[in-house]
Amino acid sequence: MDRNDVVALLGLLLMAGGLVFVYWPLALIVPGALLVALGVTGARRGGD
């Protein structure tokens, strides 16, 4: 885990925390959609 991973993780946590306080269903929808997109992208590349 390098510095960019830590920065991205902190950004994701801050964004998720902000979504919880503003509109809590978005806190589930947005990360869920991102994870689905990440999974599809990984599957296209032939990852495990």
H-type helices in 1-48, by residue range? 3-22, 26-44
Write down the pLDDT at residue 42.
77
Write down the pLDDT at residue 35.
78
What is the chain's alpha carbon radius of gyration, rounded to the nearest angstrom? 13
Is the pLDDT at 48 greater than 60, yes or no? no
Which pLDDT tens digit goes with each residue over 1-47?
677 777 877 887 787 777 778 877 777 778 788 878 877 887 788 75
Is 0.75 topped by the overall pTM? no
Write down the pLDDT at residue 47.
57
The domains of the chain are located at 3-44
